[in-house]
Amino acid sequence: MKTYDVAVIGGSVAGLQAALTLGRARRRVLLFDDGDPRNRTADHVHNYLGAENPSPTDLLATGHHQLEQYDVEVRDTRVDEVAVDGDGFAVGSDRVRAVVLATGLRDELPDVPGVAKSWGRLVVACPHCHGWEVRDQPLVQLGMRGLPDRSVARALLLSRWSSDVILCTDGDELTDEQLTKLGKAGVQVRTERVEAVHPGDDQVRVLLTTGEALLPRALFVVVRQHQQSDLAERLGCEIVDGAVSVDGGGRTTVPGVYAVGTTAVPALFAIGAAGHASTTAVALHADLLEQEL
């Protein structure tokens, strides 16, 4: 059984950044990743200082290259079990002193045919990530049936990127107060059910059950998010509203287990996930040092 200081589980932006900060602190790190980052279907990562809209694959490849000079061993494999082992953990046949969970989230998309097909390209969720590229063009915000408050909030947000925004509630009725707010922001509202979405080359066809079609340049959707891995739950970490609870140093409620990036803070963009991971790695290094002394 080989011994490492830390196992980082999940090797997208947060996991790679945690490994980088720990590697540079001369920690012996084992990094596991099964190659399924949340933004895998997107053409570009936007809004990431220092990297001009790289593809997700290129951004992660740069991260892997940066790790090569440190004591970080990378394994392209999924971790299905982490067992408490004395004052550390067993991950497969290896022993580690601490575990960093960087396993990320899975998005549940609105249940409308065609949405999943173009997810990440013409169908996206976040205006801060994708709004600039389609600014001042016709846009549709598709709500998540049963979550009208979130659907309205997203449409109001999107109205800052274009004056031509239609909110499709997919069957949800809105209150007078919501309609007034949307009217003030210049957002049109359609409450019919959406039958299907047909992505084209540079626009989306949104087909309503009335037979009418809307033709936005991009379709923004509301999503529900879930943990991509059940490792945190199985280790006994507290999970609140789908996020692994952590303190300011990324420590979960289980000693020796840390959580970084969207695993702990679902709303983080890529650069925020990396920043959170770096801060957590610094705290983890200090905790290990404390044990050593």
Ligand X SMILES: Cc1cc2nc3c(=O)[nH]c(=O)nc-3n(C[C@H](O)[C@H](O)[C@H](O)COP(=O)(O)OP(=O)(O)OC[C@H]3O[C@@H](n4cnc5c(N)ncnc54)[C@H](O)[C@@H]3O)c2cc1C
- Tell me how far, at minimum, the Cβ of 45 lies from ligand X, in Å: 5
Say if residues 138 and 215 touch (Cβ distance below 8 Å).
Answer: yes
Contact call for residue 39 and ligand X (CB under 6 A)? yes
Piece in contact with ligand X (CB under 6 A), picked from 131-139, 214-222, 223-231, 282-290: 223-231
Piece in contact with ligand X (CB under 6 A), picked from 84-92, 97-105, 161-169, 187-195: 97-105
Pairing of strands 88-91, 29-32: unpaired
- Tell me how far, at minimum, the Cβ of 196 lies from ligand X, in Å: 20
Say if residues 178 and 104 touch (Cβ distance below 8 Å).
Answer: no
Contact call for residue 42 and ligand X (CB under 6 A)? yes
Q: Identify residue 197 by its one-letter amino acid code.
A: V
Alpha helices in 116-251 (DSSP H): 127-130, 148-158, 176-184, 231-235
CA distances from 257 to 74, 77, 83, 270, 281 (A): 19, 20, 11, 22, 12
Contact call for residue 10 and ligand X (CB under 6 A)? yes
Contact call for residue 199 and ligand X (CB under 6 A)? no
Contact call for residue 33 and ligand X (CB under 6 A)? yes
CB-nearer residue toward ligand X: 75 or 198: 75
User: d(Cα 262, Cα 102) in Å, to the nearest integer?
Assistant: 8
CB-nearer residue toward ligand X: 33 or 170: 33
Say if residues 143 and 223 touch (Cβ distance below 8 Å).
Answer: no
- Tell me how far, at minimum, the Cβ of 280 lies from ligand X, in Å: 11
Helix (H) / strand (E) element for 254: namely none
Contact call for residue 5 and ligand X (CB under 6 A)? no
Report the length, in residues, of the chain. Answer: 293
Contact call for residue 269 and ligand X (CB under 6 A)? yes
Query: By rule CB under 6 A, what count of residues binds ligand X?
Result: 43
Q: Identify residue 246 by its one-letter amino acid code.
A: V
Say if residues 71 and 6 touch (Cβ distance below 8 Å).
Answer: no
Residue with nearest beta carbon to ligand X:
104
Q: Which residue has the tokens 């409308």?
A: 112
CB-nearer residue toward ligand X: 35 or 242: 35
Start-to-end CA span in the chain (Å): 24
CB-nearer residue toward ligand X: 46 or 285: 46
Contact call for residue 172 and ligand X (CB under 6 A)? no
Contact call for residue 32 and ligand X (CB under 6 A)? yes
**Residue choice 21, 103, 159, 203 for contact with ligand X (CB under 6 A):** 103
Tokens, residue 177: 């107060």
CB-nearer residue toward ligand X: 12 or 178: 12
Helix (H, G, I), strand (E, B) or coil at 166: strand
Residues at the site binding ligand X, with contacts judged by CB under 6 A:
9-15, 32-39, 41-42, 45-48, 78-79, 102-105, 107, 119-120, 124, 129, 228-229, 231, 261-263, 268-271, 273
